[in-house]
Amino acid sequence: LSVLVGSEMCIRDSSGSAALEVTYHLAGEEIARNVQPLQIEPGLFAYRLIRAELELDAPGRVYAHCRIDQSDPLLVPLTIKE
């Protein structure tokens, strides 16, 4: 999963830093989690590659819940095929 973040999305204080948290959910249950620090200069964008090792028994749909600090998560559906 690749996440593109603009500085105005994560700078809530003068430090310019935040945390990017991505949790993966299957059937309402969290199956993986990744947290990374973000440091973005004002007016710029950055991207982060989020890698999760998911062990799935069958094809299905996994939802990645992406959020910065304590903001509301953005849900990204990921379809897993055989």
Quote the radius of gyration of the chain (alpha carbons, Å).
14
pLDDT at position 31, please? 94
Overall average pLDDT of the 18-47 stretch: 90
pLDDT at position 14, please? 57
**Better-predicted residue by pLDDT, 80 or 77:** 77
Confidence of residue 46 (pLDDT cuts 50, 70, 90): confident
Per 3-state DSSP, the chain is made up of helix, strand and coil in percentages (nearest 5) of 5, 55, 40
pTM (predicted TM-score): 0.83
- Token pair listed for 4: 């593109």
